[in-house]
Amino acid sequence: MKLLVAVSFALLSTTSYAAGDAAAGKSKSSICAACHGANGVSLIPNYPNLAGQKSAYLVAQLKAFKSGARKGASSAIMAPMAAGLSDADMANLAAYYSSLPAAK
């Protein structure tokens, strides 16, 4: 867990962050909904909620999956998902999910 936090902060500090387009992110999010729920709130406890997360955090995690920096069980599923995402796609998805209310 400490490594994941360190990687996240390293990616945040070395990566330029551009604000995304939430509407574009919503249109791209259908593939995410299968595991993370239609509104970013997962019905499956093993999959994290994305709704209400900070944009920078979501972008950092997607970049870590794409680069292979994030390891673990979830990387087997998420690395291929993130592989086809551009930086704009990541920013847009992050803008969309961060605009949604967090799960209660």
The CATH code of the domain that includes 93 is 1.10.760.10
Predicted local distance difference test score (pLDDT) of residue 13: 45
Number of structural domains the chain divides into: 1
What digits encode the pLDDT tens for the residues 14-70? 454 568 999 999 999 999 999 999 999 999 999 999 999 999 999 999 999 999 999
Residue 71 belongs to domain spanning: 2-99
19 domain-assigned: yes
86 domain-assigned: yes
38 domain-assigned: yes
Q: Binning pLDDT at 50, 70 and 90, where does residue 103 land?
A: confident
pTM, to two decimals:
0.82
Q: Long-range pairs for 32-39 at CB < 8 Å and ≥24 separation?
A: 32/81, 32/93, 35/77, 39/100
The closest alpha carbon to 8, from 77, 44, 54, belongs to 54
104 domain-assigned: no
Predicted local distance difference test score (pLDDT) of residue 19: 86
Predicted local distance difference test score (pLDDT) of residue 70: 95
25 domain-assigned: yes
